[in-house]
Amino acid sequence: MNERILYTKPSITDLEVSYATDAAANGWGERCYDYIVRFEGGFKEHLGVRYAIATSSCTGALHLGLAGLGVGPGDEVIMADTNWIASAAPIVHLGANPVFVDILPDSWCLDPEQVEAAITPRTKAILAVHLYGNLCEMDKLLAIGRTYGIPVVEDAAEAIGSVYHGNKAGSMGTFGTFSFHGTKTLTTGEGGMFVTNDSALYEKVLTLSNHGRAAGQIKQFWPDMVGFKYKMSNIQAAIGCAQLERIDDLISRKREILSIYRSHLEGLSGVNLNPEPLGVTLGAWMPTAVLDPATGINRDDMLKAFRAQNIDARVFFWPLSGLSPFEPKPSNKHAWDIPNRAINLPSYHDIPTTAIARVSAVLRNLINHGA
């Protein structure tokens, strides 16, 4: 049997281990926030934003940010139907409604025309999720936001390293969020980050993130409002500091893996990988293949073929509106169609070149010889 190829796995070196060990041994008492402060500072610098708050997850960071914008009961937040539920859950937790719109067939991200058509007097935010490290059309979304006076926010959990016309993903919206879950390009095991350039929003979210205790409040244990508790620990931040020192390498390896897939699959007709249009640089978190209907190959064919070769493959996100908590919206035709003929490909940092060739060969065989 061929050796198993995992689809994801973090890259942890002696540096991460030494920082985590130091945090575990010494990061207490007066030093209990040292790595957190350092991680937030380094992340701000990496992204080129003014403020950053480390959190326990991206879901938590989104919850804080949307609460900071005042999203509440009856409000609507427009987002793509193609997403992981983590991006929608905080909207629901706040009593608001996610409004799912269709994606563009090439980038698999939010269709700006559909966004504009979905705006109502209750629209409180537009949530741009940069799917699999592909980029939303931020120029168009930000222009729509300006026209209607609606903030555009970015879930950049999958897009560290992605750059849109010189701007890093997560730095363009009213706020941005990141995930450092074990599957992500930069990991702390579990973890996230809230970033913004808006000082008032930062102050608000900082207060919310600290159980409602304002930074200027001198009375001990005195919350001014009911807030949240989504903090990152110093030990997680220590691992994050090490990963951040290696961020260029972590991103460039992701890009390299995608480009190796491209070189193996480019000539095959009917296979589409993550697009990288002019002016866009991909962080390439998740190489993904979407097959043309003409290939006659569907998701289950691919899952079966990969399984037979002992390769982990991951299904493309189901449309959220097709899940039982939500109203079905099959009129979002790309979001409902693409998952039937798409697959995420293994792409962990240390994946051997021979493994990428093996994965590519499975797709090549399916295309050339049928399921």
**Of residues 87 and 114, the one with the C-beta less far from ligand PLP:** 87
Could you give the residue ranges of the DSSP H alpha helices within 105-198? Answer: 112-117, 138-148
Q: How far is the CB of 240 from ligand PLP (least distance, A)?
A: 12
Q: Are 371 and 17 in contact (CB under 8 A)?
A: no
CA dihedral sign, ordered 172, 176, 182, 187: positive
Query: What is the CA 213 to chain-centroid distance, rounded?
Result: 29
d(CA 17, CA 27): 14
Q: How far is the CB of 50 from ligand PLP (least distance, A)?
A: 22
d(CA 226, CA 244): 33
d(CA 42, CA 33): 14
Among candidate residues 283, 250, 240, the one with its CA nearest the CA of residue 41: 240
Q: Is 157 in the site for ligand PLP (CB under 6 A)?
A: yes
Site for ligand PLP in 80-139 (CB under 6 A): 84, 86-87, 129
Per CB under 6 A, the list member of 7, 20, 49, 57 interacting with ligand PLP is 57
Q: At what angle do helices 234-245 and 247-265 cross, to 10 degrees?
A: 60
Per CB under 6 A, the list member of 20, 40, 59, 289 interacting with ligand PLP is 59
* Number of chain positions touching ligand PLP (CB under 6 A): 13
**Of residues 268 and 315, the one with the C-beta less far from ligand PLP:** 315
Q: Tell me, residue by residue from 231 to 270, as one string, x for binding to ligand PLP by CB under 6 A and - for no binding.
A: ----------------------------------------
Q: Tell me, residue by residue from 177 to 216, as one string, x for binding to ligand PLP by CB under 6 A and - for no binding.
A: --x-x----------x------------------------
Binding site for ligand PLP (CB under 6 A): 57-59, 84, 86-87, 129, 155, 157-158, 179, 181, 192
